[in-house]
Structure 1
């Protein structure tokens, strides 16, 4: 990782884990999710990999809640991390 890359924060990792759990629970592949979210499969792969700083933004989370048929709150912790 170069100096200019930012590591994923605790909240990023938490949200990514929750989205992945939900994605797997509903039986979606990374490719299925990428297509529904209108992003590349590589983008989802980078998000789910700890080796890249890529993470979801708030628009992604809103769209993911629609796609995965859940609440936006399902991706967020009850207390600050």
Structure 2
């Protein structure tokens, strides 16, 4: 497994923050994204090579009702 970059960790942390604020579990968000129920958990734990791509982030923003820009630093 490769080390996460600073921006990758930032995105993961922001998605997690927004997910928790929305009251969604990792599994619920994964299924809403039409992915394996363990996907979000794998990304957040960084124990696998699973990462969010731009399409994942677009879908997450739609599910959480926010802008994709909220997942990135200024």
Deviation, structure 1 residue 7:
1.9
Q: 1:23 aligns with which of 8, 19, 23?
A: 19
- Tell me, which stretches of 5 or more residues in structure 1 are unaligned? none
Q: Which has the larger radius of gyration?
A: 1
User: Structure 1 segments of 4 or more deviating over 6 A?
Assistant: none
Relative to the length of structure 2, the TM-score reads 0.92
Q: 2:27 is paired with a residue of what secondary structure? A: helix
So what's the TM-score if we normalise by structure 1?
0.84
RMSD: 1.0
Deviations 1:48-68 (A, max 9, x none): 003223210000011111000
- Pairs aligned (count): 74
Unaligned segments of structure 2, at least 5 residues:
none
